[in-house]
Structure 1
Amino acid sequence: MRHNLYRILMVLLCIFTSCTDVIDVEVPTAEERLVIEASLDWEKGTPGNNQTIKLSTTTAYFNPDTSNSVIGAEVTVTRDLDGAVYVFEDQLNGTYTTDSFEAILDESYTLNIVYNNETYTATETLLPTTSITQITQSKDGGFLSEALELNVYFDDPVDETNFYILRYFEVGDFYPTLVSVSDEFLNGNEIHLFFEKDGDDEEEEFEPGDIVNVNLYNVSETYYNYMDILISQSGSSGNPFSPAPVELRGNCINITNPDNYPYGYFRVTQTDFETYTFIEDEE
């Protein structure tokens, strides 16, 4: 019996003290591509002259600390109506800025980027947006009966097809929340949307004193579809019924080498901006 016990102990000792082989797994890395963040937003009531475009490149998943800011590119936006050209100056940190942009509603604008001897371009039309008519707070329209929620109201124009993006950003948060909505079944009516935090471990419910900035954009159908997919994919974690993530490409194309297509989108839009501060519930 002692002899058998000794053998068992020796086998266990060999198992727990044996060497572990290191296996190197080659992870496929996609080709580096240009990423274009070109949202020219003209806020109602402002000149809209100051605009910024950001350029970067994709990076390997396991090298997040690698600098991917693009410098040395040539960036311009042309108003197609009269050929006015707005040069975006390289700030040597991945951003390109201008303080002379002039917005005209319902006119098209063309983005032109020259980088690594290749030319990227995209065209969008500057659409007017309706105004936010009212922002209120309540506790009776959301999923949590006792949670504060934000209500945003605006009037959809009659006899028009419109697509909207709402951007909610609570002061102090790292990222905004984006919502896409069309007027397919709401044409010509008042549209009411509510925004509520779900109160999980990573996201506390709204409290009195919280400040939320709200932007309303009237966007093109192509941008609406682009954002609808992006919002669905970015918020689908843990949802077994969500669509499988797909490679999302915007409206920017590489006219020099189409196979080396970029990521990102060129958007030109008017936006209405409001700020709301939650107050103590009177009930």
Structure 2
Amino acid sequence: MKRYIKNIAVLIIASLGLFACEDVIDVEVQTGQIRLVIEASLDWEKGTLGNNQTIKLSTSTPYFETANNTAVTNATVMVTNLDTNEVFNFVNQNDGTYTTDVFVPVENNQYQLEVVYNNETYIATETLMPVPDINDVNQSVDGGIDPDLLEVNIYFDDPADEDNFYLIRYYEEGDLFPYFEDYSDEFSNGNEVHDFFEKQEDEDNDQAEFQPGDSVDISLYGISERYYNYMRILIEQYYSGGNPFSSNGVQLKGNCVNATNQANYPYGYFRATQVVKTSYTFQ
């Protein structure tokens, strides 16, 4: 019994010694320059007029800062169709969003975004790319990485004799994030394209495998080559996060430039796309 008590005493003293050696270390994290963030996606859903569009402006924040309101409410936003010279003014909603209900989307026309903020003018141009229809959507269990998991399949015809680029978005309600894929027709030009999406369990993102009765929303975008290259790098960096064998991430710049002060460049991208949307419920 005495030896037991003695051992307990030694453990307590050792533990106190460990706690006494703890020091709080404050690490000063460098803060980058605050920049304008432009979220400008003119998405024309196939089968609609595409008149209603929204552009969101905010400012960047330090990595650990979550309390600040970063909405930009004192900017001027307009989009011009460079083929027709038609101008679309976006109305300030005083919450960081700028909207219009008179936008006219035209396939293969070039559009220019102009944002005036803090006496500086930001410019970006993009061509509105068309998108083919989705031919079929079905499910299977034998085409994915895990032969026991359900996957959703989509099929669409790629136009022949031209270079085409696509962005595919999959989302099940309740998931923390959607899943994106970029696709080039380099090796499938003029053929029917097949793409599939299989979800694996991910506790960190509160994501579960597909089960019968689950419904997934699917969006297929026709995009420009420049936007494809941008998204390809962005997707690669996002999904390789935490991988010890992945390459180092790089600061990714979009197509928006500061025409007044080139060094004060913004974050974000101005895209103009046609999109076809559908959904599928697993059986």
Common fold by TM > 0.5: yes
Matched, 1:263 2:267: yes
Which of residues 246, 249, 254 in structure 1 aligns to 2:253? 249
CA contact (8 A) 2:140 2:153 kept: yes
Matched, 1:65 2:67: yes
Alignment of 1:1-283 (within 5 A): 15-16=17-18, 18=20, 21-201=23-203, 202-279=206-283
CA contact (8 A) 2:176 2:207 kept: no
Give the Cα separation in 1 of the matches to 2:125 and 2:202: 41
State the secondary structure of the residue aligned to 1:224.
helix
TM superposition score normalised by structure 1 = 0.91
- When residues 17 and 160 of structure 1 are mapped into structure 2, their CA distance, relative to the original with a 3 A threshold, is closer
Give the Cα separation in 2 of the matches to 1:217 and 1:19: 57
Aligned residue pairs: how many? 273
- In structure 1, what residue type is equivalent to 2:266? P
Which structure 2 residue ranges, 5 or more long, are not aligned?
1-5
State the secondary structure of the residue aligned to 2:265.
coil
State the secondary structure of the residue aligned to 1:24.
coil
CA contact (8 A) 2:175 2:207 kept: no
Give the Cα separation in 2 of the matches to 1:234 and 1:160: 30
Aligned-pair distance for 1:272?
1.0
Aligned-pair distance for 1:66?
1.4
- In structure 2, what residue type is equivalent to 1:91? Q
State the secondary structure of the residue aligned to 2:230.
helix
- In structure 2, what residue type is equivalent to 1:162? N
Q: More deviation in 12-21 or 226-235?
A: 12-21
Aligned-pair distance for 1:238?
2.8
Give the Cα separation in 1 of the matches to 2:16 and 2:216: 61
Which structure 1 residue ranges, 5 or more long, are not aligned?
none
Give the Cα separation in 1 of the matches to 2:173 and 2:21: 52
Identity of aligned residues (%): 56
